[in-house]
């Protein structure tokens, strides 16, 4: 759901349509024996980290945050560039298993 089209499917960036408190959640799922790091970014500044790894067939991690946004602020998920993880190979599950969710709460 993307009411108001504040989230761009092309860029992966949420642009705040109205100032207030917002809840964001990031879930990532990786293949077994892989590792993956992301960060939630607010106007270019890291505000939350997320890390998934393990020995299971697949491994998932979720992290959430509440932040105050001003109209026009931008929030997105960025992959941390860590060449030491998986030799730089990135393998994540899509299809609803890896998600970026946000909504205004006040």
Domain boundaries, the chain: 7-104
Asked if the model's pLDDT at residue 36 lies above 90, the reply is no
Whole-model pTM: value is 0.85
Predicted confidence band at 90 (pLDDT cuts at 50, 70, 90)?
low
Using the structure block, give the residue that is written with the tokens 């917002």: 22
Tell me which residue of 70, 86, 57, 59 sits closest to 22, measured CA to CA: 70
- Lowest mean pLDDT, pick from 40-44, 65-69, 87-91: 87-91
- Lowest mean pLDDT, pick from 10-14, 27-31, 73-77, 80-84: 80-84
Say what the pLDDT of residue 44 is: 95
Could you give the percent of the chain with pLDDT greater than 70?
88
Q: How far apart are CA 76 and CA 70, in angstroms?
A: 15
| More confident position, 52 or 49 | 49
- Chain length of the chain: 106
Q: How far apart are CA 66 and CA 45, in angstroms?
A: 15
Tell me which residue of 105, 27, 101 sits closest to 60, measured CA to CA: 27
CATH fold for the domain made of 7-104 = Jelly Rolls (2.60.120)
Say what the pLDDT of residue 98 is: 84
Using the structure block, give the residue that is written with the tokens 């024996």: 33
């Amino acid at each position: 759901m993307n009411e108001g089209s504040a989230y761009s499917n092309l860029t992966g960036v949420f642009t705040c349509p109205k100032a207030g408190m917002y809840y964001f959640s990031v879930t990532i799922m990786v293949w077994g024996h892989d590792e993956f790091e992301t960060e939630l970014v607010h106007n270019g500044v890291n505000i939350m980290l997320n890390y998934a790894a393990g020995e299971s067939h697949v491994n998932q991690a979720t992290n959430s945050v509440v932040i105050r946004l001003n109209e026009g602020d931008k929030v997105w998920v960025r992959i941390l560039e860590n060449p030491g993880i998986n030799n730089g190979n990135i393998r994540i599950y899509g299809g609803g298993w890896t998600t970026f969710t946000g909504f205004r709460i006040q």
